[in-house]
A and B are shown apart, each in its own frame.
Chain A
Amino acid sequence: MYVYLYDPALKEKRFQSIMKTVENRLTDFGITGRIIRLTPFTNAKPIIEDEVARGSKTFVIVGNDTTFGHIMSSSAALPVTFGYIPVGDDSAVAHSLGIPLNAPAVDVLSARKIEPLDIGWMNNRYFISRIEIEPAPLSVEYDAQFRVRARDGEMGVTICNLLPFQGAHLGARDHVVHPQDVQLDAFLEPVEKKRWFRKRVTTQAASIFPFREMVIRGRRPFTVVADGRHSKEILLSIKLADVKLKMVVGKERMFGLS
């Protein structure tokens, strides 16, 4: 049985026609199910656990990448299958998973191609896509073996699992990562402070470190954006979770193609 977890914004008028088409297509494929409308402060984990107890096995996130990140942060490790219907104009997660936007996503969902994906764990929650840390005086310790720091003070850190890394320096190309390689990838970009306006610029290509466990320490609190969710941390412990996420993916996904 399918359970659809709706983003609260889908009530808005601008999404009504899209949602009507999506729901009609779900009916056509015979994969309709229970609809749960989330609120911005809803913890999806107990809801999913309740539904699992009732016999549901597939949970479909309907919304945007923020909804996806919000639900996954608490529920990624649950032993269920997740699907995703991206609603709106753009979705980086959907693009990476090979899922088209809006109603055509139902076709992918009905095909049920399930792939196991790596899950990252940071401090007290899961992440699937990417963690971005703004430039700060950081020290990064990998797998309790070696430590990396910027030669001239500050650096920005990006941890990628599903979404590619987009370098900030001039001429940088997207670095595609693999969410099934049983490791996370850290990209370190030291920044230089220009005298004029104390502007911070990145001139060098990023350092790349695949890892399973790392600790990031800052001399002062630094800003972290994990799957679109902002927070301030002074110590960040990141590791690859022991469990995998079971996800319905499309043929056009950016990984695991032979």
Chain B
Amino acid sequence: MPSLFSKSVEEIEHKNDSDSDQVDTVVGPSVVVEGDFVSHGNIVVKGVVSGNVKTSQHLLVEEGAKIMAHVKARSAKVAGEVRGNIKVKDTLELTATAKVLGDVECGTLIVAGGAGINGKCTTLAVDFSSLKETNKEDKKILGLRKKSKIELAGFEEQQPMASV
């Protein structure tokens, strides 16, 4: 099922044709953007951006595109390179050609096979509280395992050596 975040440039451009109220920002493949790039609409990056990128809407980094600073968006799909931290409120999708050199923080993370992340990943939409609650039990189990290992080691030490 195609998700909202799997929309391509064609889909965004088609949306423009039907709804001219909102014009998306498109960084073409032959231009270079320098400085903090802030927008309130959808952003499509096909070229190079050397500065922070921030939008309250969707960000699409196409294959071959480069962002060389931090990224903040509501949702994002990355098929190019990002050399900086990515902070996305909703869904972040990394396609097979995506390369991220930085920490990733998002609501939901979708990673395709072949995508590369070199950094810490945090998903905010996933509830980890249940894991914290069982932590004590886990520790107990781990403690028991450790103890049983020591006892087992002691037991092995007490065993007489087998005669050769």
Contact = CB atoms under 8 A, between A and B. Distances in A.
Interface of A: 143, 145-152, 155, 173, 175-178, 181, 183, 185, 188, 190, 204-210, 255
Given A178-B20, A178-B21, A149 B38 contact: no
Interface in B13-50: 16-17, 20-39, 41, 47-48
Given A175-B16, A177-B20, A207-B47, A150 B25 contact: no
B51 interface: yes
Nearest to B39: A210
Nearest to A181: B21
Contact of A152 (B21, B30, B36, B48): B30
Contacts, number: 78
A177 B28 contact: no
A210 B31 contact: no
Contact of B37 (A146, A149, A210): A146
A176 B17 contact: yes
Given A178-B21, A181-B21, A150 B37 contact: no
A205 B28 contact: yes
Nearest to A152: B30
B140 to A, nearest CB: 55
Given A145-B37, A146-B36, A177 B31 contact: no
Interface of B: 16-17, 20-39, 41, 47-48, 51
A181 B24 CA distance: 13
Chain A CB within 10 Å, residue with most, of B24, B35, B51: B35
A255 to B, nearest CB: 7
A209 B25 CA distance: 5
B117 to A, nearest CB: 26
A175 B37 CA distance: 23
B128 to A, nearest CB: 37
Nearest to A205: B28
Given A145-B35, A145-B37, A145-B38, A151 B20 contact: no
